[in-house]
C-alpha cells in the first residue's frame, strides 16, 4: 500500500537524520529530565534481570540494526553493567514536531495523515522496532465543526524484536490525527514525538517488561457530539485475542504533552481504578506530576475492556484545535518532563 512504500523510502532519510540528532546536545529544563533519572529504580535487585534483558537485546540488535556502531559493539562487552540510557534528546523531539506540523492538518482520512504515519513509522523503525501499519476504515462525519470524509487510516504498531503479544507487556500510544483546522503541534505531534524518543531510549535499554508503542489513527471525534472517537485504539483493542488482552499490564496514552505546566498531568478514567496512574506518579515522583481524571483519549478504549489505562498530558491552552497550534506553543522543558515521567514508569516495571 502507498503508506508502506512511503515509510520504506522515508526510513533511510530518517536514519540519517536521527544519527545526526543523536549527537546533538540535550537541553536540560528546570525540572527533572530523563537524563537526571537513575537508570533503574532498584539497581541492586534489578542488576541481574537488566543485564539479562540488555544482553538479549544487544545480541538481537546486532543482527537487525546497523544504524549505530555503539549498538553493535556493545554486544561484545558482556558481561557488563547495563548501559545507562541515553538522555532524552529534546532537540530530536522538537524537530519531529516541526516536521509533523509542517504537513498541515492531518484529518484521519487525509493524505497528510498517511504522511504522518509514514514519518512516525520511519522513526520507530530506525530506533530498532518491527513496525506494522494496520489499516482501518473511518466514517464520514463532523470533526470540530468541519465535515470530514470517510476513508482509511492506520495504526502504526512498533514491537521490539522477539516480541510475543501473549507474554506480559505494556502499551504506550499517541494519536496520529488532528482536527481539520489545526496543524497539531501540541495535539498531538507532541505526544507522537515524545513517544518515539522514549521508544528509542527503551530499545537501547530495555526494561523488565517489553513495551509495544502504537501511533493510533483517528482519535479525534467524527460526530456523535464528540462520542464517536478513538477509532484506531478501539480497532486495536478489538483485534486482540483474549490471551493478548490479558497480557497487557497497562496502557498509557500521550496526548498533548508539551504545553508548559510544571506538573505533568497523569489522568485515570473517572470511576475506574486509579492504580496505574498512581504507579506512574510514584515512579516519576509525585511532585513532578498531578493527578486528574480524563475520558478523552485512546486510553479509554483500553480501560473499557478492563485494561488499566492512563493518560499523560491535557494542559489547557488557547490554541487548542485551531490554526494557532504551531510549534511555538510547545515548551521543550515540558516535553522533557513528560518524557521523564514516561521513562520513569517504564524503568519501574517489574
x/- mask, Zn ion, residues 248-267, rule CB under 5 A, reads -------x------------
Site for Zn ion in 116-155 (CB under 5 A): none
| Cell numbers for 251 | 496502557
Q: How far apart are CA 254 and CA 206, in angstroms?
A: 20
**Residue number with CB closer to Zn ion (6 or 256):** 256
- Relative to beta strand 169-175, strand 248-254 is parallel
Q: How far apart are CA 121 and CA 211, in angstroms?
A: 16
Q: How many residues are given for the chain?
A: 350
Task: Based on the shown chain and the rule CB under 5 A, indicate whether residue 186 belongs to the binding site for Zn ion.
Answer: no
**Residue number with CB closer to Zn ion (197 or 255):** 255
CB of 143 to Zn ion, least distance (A): 12
Q: How far is CA 171 from CA 248, 252, 347, in A?
A: 7, 6, 14
| Cell numbers for 175 | 494519536
With CB under 5 A as the contact rule, the residue among 95, 186, 187, 325 that binds Zn ion is: 187
**Residue number with CB closer to Zn ion (159 or 187):** 187
Site for Zn ion in 214-253 (CB under 5 A): none
**Residue number with CB closer to Zn ion (230 or 247):** 230
Task: Based on the shown chain and the rule CB under 5 A, indicate whether residue 301 belongs to the binding site for Zn ion.
Answer: no
DSSP line for 233-261: HHHHHHHS-HHHHHHEEEEEEE-S--S--
Task: Based on the shown chain and the rule CB under 5 A, indicate whether residue 188 belongs to the binding site for Zn ion.
Answer: yes
Site size with Zn ion, rule: CB under 5 A: 3
**Residue number with CB closer to Zn ion (188 or 205):** 188
Q: Cβ neighbours of residue 140 under 8 Å, at least 6 residues apart? A: 147, 148, 149, 150, 222
Listed ranges 41-49, 81-89, 179-187, 331-339: which one lies at the site for Zn ion (CB under 5 A)? 179-187
Applying CB under 5 A, which residues contact Zn ion? 187-188, 255
Amino acid at each position: 500500500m502507498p503508506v508502506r512504500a512511503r515509510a520504506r523510502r522515508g526510513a533511510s532519510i530518517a536514519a540519517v537524520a536521527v544519527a545526526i540528532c543523536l549527537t546533538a546536545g540535550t537541553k536540560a529544563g528546570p525540572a527533572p529530565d530523563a537524563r537526571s533519572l537513575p537508570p533503574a529504580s532498584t539497581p541492586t535487585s534489578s542488576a541481574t534481570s537488566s543485564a539479562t534483558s540488555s544482553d538479549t537485546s544487544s545480541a538481537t540488535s546486532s543482527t537487525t540494526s546497523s544504524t549505530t556502531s555503539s549498538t553493535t559493539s556493545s554486544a561484545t562487552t558482556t558481561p557488563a553493567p547495563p548501559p545507562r540510557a541515553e538522555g532524552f534528546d529534546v532537540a530530536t523531539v522538537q524537530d519531529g514536531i516541526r516536521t509533523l506540523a509542517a504537513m498541515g492538518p492531518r484529518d484521519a482520512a487525509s493524505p497528510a495523515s498517511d504522511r504522518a504515519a509514514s514519518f512516525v513509522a520511519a522513526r520507530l523503525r530506525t530506533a530498532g522496532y518491527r513496525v506494522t501499519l494496520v489499516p482501518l476504515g473511518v466514517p464520514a462525519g463532523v470533526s470540530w465543526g468541519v465535515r470530514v470524509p470517510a476513508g482509511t487510516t492506520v495504526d502504526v504498531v512498533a514491537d521490539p524484536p522477539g516480541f510475543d503479544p501473549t507474554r506480559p507487556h505494556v502499551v504506550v500510544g499517541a494519536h496520529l490525527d488532528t482536527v481539520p483546522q489545526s496543524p497539531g503541534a501540541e495535539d498531538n505531534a507532541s505526544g507522537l514525538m515524545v513517544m518515539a524518543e522514549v521508544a528509542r531510549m527503551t530499545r537501547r535499554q530495555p526494561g523488565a517488561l517489553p513495551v509495544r508503542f502504537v501511533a493510533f489513527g483517528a482519535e479525534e471525534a467524527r460526530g456523535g457530539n464528540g462520542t464517536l472517537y478513538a477509532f484506531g485504539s478501539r480497532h486495536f483493542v478489538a483485534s486482540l485475542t483474549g490471551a493478548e488482552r490479558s497480557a497487557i499490564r497497562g496502557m498509557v496514552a500521550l496526548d498533548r504533552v508539551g504545553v508548559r505546566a510544571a506538573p505533568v498531568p497523569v489522568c485515570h478514567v473517572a470511576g475506574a481504578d486509579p492504580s496505574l496512574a498512581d504507579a506512574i506518579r510514584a515512579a516519576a515522583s509525585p511532585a513532578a506530576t498531578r493527578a486528574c481524571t480524563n475520558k478523552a483519549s485512546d486510553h479509554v478504549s483500553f480501560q473499557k475492556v478492563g485494561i488499566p489505562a492512563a493518560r499523560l498530558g491535557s494542559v489547557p491552552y488557547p490554541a487548542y484545535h485551531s490554526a494557532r497550534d504551531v510549534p511555538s506553543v510547545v515548551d521543550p522543558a515540558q516535553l522533557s518532563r513528560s518524557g521523564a515521567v514516561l521513562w520513569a514508569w517504564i524503568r519501574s516495571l517489574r
